Amino acid sequence: AQKITQTQPGMFVQEKEAVTLDCTYDTSDPSYGLFWYKQPSSGEMIFLIYQGSYDQQNATEGRYSLNFQKARKSANLVISASQLGDSAMYFCAMRENGYNQGGKLIFGQGTELSVKP
């Protein structure tokens, strides 16, 4: 069964506006970690932000924040003040058994974000 779902294949946002990229997940493990990665057209995978299942507060990293709603099993990425350089593919990923330091990541299908000038 698919465990990470990103329902938006593509999104457009105007420069300087905020945008939310959706991610829902499914797991029966009480301990897990959620990650967002950015993949620009050059192909590399860049880590953006992490949320642990037991974290009390939503994670923030600069212009990135994670809207974590545990009961709804959603972990949406919010990018504030979009920049042209934010145009990329964004992947949501989960690691089950979050305190298993070596666990694999399971990725969603990705959302392609295009920032318009």
Smallest gap, in angstroms, from Cβ of residue 72 to another protein?
22
Per CB under 8 A, the list member of 19, 33, 36, 96 interacting with another protein is 33
Per CB under 8 A, the list member of 7, 14, 60, 99 interacting with another protein is 99
Exposed e or buried b per residue across 27-56, where buried means at least 16 C-beta atoms within 10 angstroms of its C-beta: beeeebbbbbbbeeeeeeeeebbbbebeee
Dist CA 107 CA 94 (whole Å): 7
Q: Specify whether the CB–CB gap between 79 and 86 falls below 8 A.
A: yes
Does residue 62 interact with another protein by CB under 8 A? no
Output 5 or 67, the one with its CB closest to another protein: 5
Does residue 108 interact with another protein by CB under 8 A? yes
